[in-house]
Amino acid sequence: MTDERLFHPSDDLPFGEVLWRDADKATRTGLLSLAEHYSRVDGFFALTIVPRYSVVDPAGLYEELGGMFLQVRSRRSDQQKGLTVLRLAHVQRRLEGSVAICPGRFDGVWLVMTDMKRSSDDYRHLVEPVLQLMASRAPGAWLSTADTQEVLYELEERLHLKLTPGRVISSNRERSSIEYMKKRRSLADVFGELRERELVLRSLDFTAFGKGSRLVLAAGIDRWMRLKYRGGSRALLDDHLVSAVEAKLRQHVRRLDVPREDALSGRPIVFRFSRAVLTDRSRNRELVDTLATLPNVSVCAFHLNPYLHVALVDYADGSNMDIFADDPVTLSVIPGKRCSVAAISRAFNAVYAHFASGQIAAVENVEIGS
């Protein structure tokens, strides 16, 4: 437990301040241990972990972009290469907080960690907008309900324990309602109901208890791959849950990061629907409307039916792409010369969350030239 001693938890100081004070000694393990300590003494403590993909250290990006409207100070750890703690302040709003950015298990994967609550003003002004601005160069990812199910089932298997779902939030594809499931039941029940009612899982909190009602893990996951650590073993969290989303993020980015020339040579980026959905003119139009109603996007349908050819430009970062469908289950994307993984991810997310279920196909599974 040498790691734990690198940080000195303090009863008087909140987690974020200790993190900043001891930044030079920070390590990934030490930071999670500190969080474990705070979770034991503070019933409301939660550590948010947001995975991001970036070929360069995203701490520099955070400083550059966040620095445009926040006060950002940074300190690098002497103990772990690539780990940076940022102290953020929004002077007018009198908000302050710390964020750690730490290299993940795979090249390009990074973890943004903070004790700011996601619903708090702190997070909303100090973290959320910066992560959004960073997205074109450091994209995150989203999880389909099936992906989340896979992650959580695997976690159960690795822990040899059943997870007890707590608050479950889902929505339907018509954006008309958000559903809360509070009743205690099994994970299988929850996913069964989501599937049956064709709901999209937004977030799920859970606990796992061991023998004698000992808390093994209390955590949450949402469809933006953000994890919430509430308590229990930080080692189990890191080894079995954080690692799983890191792998999912890497997979997501790999599937979307296809150069234009490759995509134009018969290897487009593919979203495959779970069943035939592009079956008539009105369904095709619905898909176009789904994309067109994204807040920062314009689409032009060069052709609507029966095959679909849409051009999309995303004003968040200037990405553009062509979207094409000539069978009822496959959507192909050919990125423009200027096109970010984040923009394609957003487009597919809209299709998944508001049009129809499906998944981003693995590149190797895309049939070539057929």
**Residues of this chain, 200-259, that bind another protein according to CB under 8 A:** none
Restricted to residues 96-155, the positions that interact with another protein (CB under 8 A) are 132-133, 136
Judged by CB under 8 A, the stretch of 5-13, 79-87, 231-239, 327-335 that binds another protein is 327-335
Distance CA 87, CA 66 (A): 11
161 touches 207 (CB < 8 A): no
- Closer residue to another protein (CB): 180 or 302: 302
319 binds another protein, rule: CB under 8 A:
yes
For residue 265, state whether it binds another protein (rule: CB under 8 A).
Answer: yes
Among the candidate windows 12-20, 87-95, 114-122, 317-325, which touches another protein by CB under 8 A?
317-325
Structure tokens at 183: 């009743």
Beta-carbon contacts of residue 217 (< 8 Å; ≥ 6 apart):
159, 206, 207, 208, 231, 232, 233, 236, 237, 241
93 is a site residue for another protein (CB under 8 A): no
Is residue 272 close enough to count as binding another protein by CB under 8 A? no
Q: Check binding of 46 to another protein (CB under 8 A).
A: no
Number of other CB atoms surrounding residue 167 within 10 Å: 12
Q: How far is the CB of 24 from another protein (least distance, A)?
A: 30
Residue 75 CB, nearest distance to another protein (Å)? 25
Q: How many residues does the chain have?
A: 370
Q: Scan for tokens 């096109």, then name that residue.
A: 339
Site for another protein in 288-307 (CB under 8 A): 288-289, 292-293, 295-303, 305-307
Closest by CA to 209, choosing from 141, 174, 163, is: 163
Please name the amino acid found at residue 347. A
Stretch that binds another protein, among 46-54, 161-169, 180-188, 324-332 (CB under 8 A): 324-332
Q: Is 364 helix (H, G, I), strand (E, B) or coil?
A: helix
Rounded-to-integer distance, Cα 24 and Cα 108, Å: 22
- Please report whether residue 334 would count as binding another protein according to CB under 8 A: yes
Nearer CB in complex with another protein: 60/266: 266
Region for 266 from its dihedrals, namely left if φ exceeds 0, alpha if ψ lies in -120 to 50, beta otherwise: left
Residue 318: HSE in the Cβ half-sphere, 13 Å Cα cutoff? 3
How many residues sit close enough to another protein to count as binding (CB under 8 A)?
A: 49
Which one among 65, 138, 181, 199 touches another protein, defined by CB under 8 A? 65
Q: Binding residue for another protein (CB under 8 A) from 311, 329, 350, 363? A: 311
Backbone angles phi, psi at 96, to 5 degrees: -150, 145
Nearer to another protein, 73 or 283 (CB): 283
C-alpha to C-alpha distances, 124 to 135, 229, 263, nearest whole angstrom: 16, 19, 37
Residues near another protein, by CB under 8 A? 65, 68-69, 132-133, 136, 264-266, 279, 281, 288-289, 292-293, 295-303, 305-307, 309, 311-320, 322, 324, 326, 328, 332, 334, 336-338, 369-370
